[in-house]
Amino acid sequence: MTSFPQKAETTKGERPPRPLVLLTGASRGLGLAVAQHLIRLNRFNLVLTARSESLPRFLKAGIKQGPHLWLRALDVTSPRQRHELIEEVENYFQRVDVLINNAGMMTRAVAEHVLEPDTLLQMGVNYHAPMELSRLVLPGMRARRWGRIVNISSVGGMMAMPTMSVYSASKFALEGASEALSYEVRPWNVYVTLVQPGFINSGGLQQIGYTERSRAALQDPLSPYHEHYTYMSSFIATIMKRVHSTPQSVARKVIRVIDSPNPSVRVAGTFDAFLFSALRRLLPRDLYHAVLYRTLPGINNWGRRS
C-alpha cells in the first residue's frame, strides 16, 4: 500500500496545509480532468477511485500511485466498499477534507420505458451513493470544523428533458438533498456545493446508457417513441460537438470551489447551465415550459404513431 507522509495536526476550523481530497469516478471524463488538475497543482493528498475494471485507465492516463496519491477500486453502489474505503483512509490519515462526488451515470429513456430496476440503479449511483459517502465523512469534518463536499450535478438537475426522466429525477434528488445539507453543516464550516455542468465537448455521449425498452424503441422505426429518441439523440450530439466547454474548463471551476473560503451552494459549470438557470428564474413558469416544449427538436413529428 502506498502511504501518505505523516503531517502535523491542524487547528480546528483552519484549512489544512495539504488537504486530503477523495474523488470518485476519477478515471475518465470530468473526473479524470479534475484528477489531472489536482495532481498538477501538487498541493493536495489525493485518493482517486474508479470501478475495479476501470483502474487500468489511470495507467493509460499516466497516473500512478505515489507519496501523495492513492488509487482505489470503488463501486459507489456497494455499502461495503464505501465503508471500507472511508475506514481505510481515515484510519491511516485521520481525515477526509474534501469529498468530490463525481461518479455518475446517465440513462436515456422515456418514463414509460423505465422499469423499477432501472430506476433503482440510476438513483443508487447519482443520488444515494453521494449522500452516503457524504454521511460517512461528515463526522470527521464536523470534528475538525472544516470541510468541502462537491457534488457534481447537471443542468438535468434544474430542468428536465424528454427521454431523460429518471436521470433528471436522480439529479433533482441530489440537488434537493445537497441544498438541505448545505444549511445543516454550515455551522461547522463545512460547505456543500453543487457544480452544474451542461453540455460538454467530450466523448460523454458514448457513455449514455439505455434501458432494454428504450434501446428497442430507438432501433424500431415503428415504436411510438422512436422519434423522441432519434431527434433528441441527434440534437444532443450536435450541441456537444459545437460547445466550447470541455472537461478541463469545468474541472477548473471545481478547483475554484475547493479553494474558495466561502463557496456558493450552486455553481454553473458551463455557459448553457448559467443561461438555463437565468431563463428559469426570469420567465414566468408557464411561458418557460411552453418555450422549451416548442423548441424541442422535431416536436411536430412526435406522437404521430399510436
Average pLDDT value over all residues in the chain = 93
Q: The whole model's pTM is what?
A: 0.94
pLDDT of residue 11: 72
Model confidence at 242, pLDDT cuts 50, 70, 90, reads: confident
Domains of the chain, by residue range, sit at 20-301
Q: Is the pLDDT of residue 33 over 80?
A: yes
Angle formed by the axes of helices 29-41 and 247-259, nearest 10°: 50
pLDDT tens by residue, 94-133: 999 999 999 999 999 999 999 999 999 999 999 999 999 9
3-state SS record for the chain: CCCCCCCCCCCCCCCCCCCEEEECCCCCHHHHHHHHHHHHHCCCEEEEEECHHHCHHHHHCCCCCECCEEEEECCCCCHHHHHHHHHHHHHHHCCCCEEEECCCCCEEECHHHCCHHHHHHHHHHHHHHHHHHHHHHHHHHHHHCCEEEEEECCHHHCCCCCCEHHHHHHHHHHHHHHHHHHHHHHHHCEEEEEEECCCCCCCHHHHCEECHHHHHHHHCCCCCCHHHHHHHHHHHHHHHHHCCCCHHHHHHHHHHHHHCCCCCCEEECCHHHHHHHHHHHHCCHHHHHHHHHHCCCCHHHCCCCC
**Contacts with 82 (C-beta within 8 Å, 6 or more apart), sequence order:** 74, 76, 129, 132, 133, 136
Q: 20-301 architecture in CATH?
A: 3-Layer(aba) Sandwich (3.40)
Model confidence at 201, pLDDT cuts 50, 70, 90, reads: confident
pLDDT of residue 142: 98
CA distance 230 to 228: 6
Residue 231 annotated as catalytic: no
pLDDT of residue 45: 96
Pick the catalytic residue: 92, 127, 167, 231? 167
Nearest to 43 by CA among 61, 17, 22: 17
Model confidence at 243, pLDDT cuts 50, 70, 90, reads: confident
Model confidence at 8, pLDDT cuts 50, 70, 90, reads: very low
Average pLDDT over residues 245-264: 96
CA distance 250 to 200: 9
Model confidence at 204, pLDDT cuts 50, 70, 90, reads: low
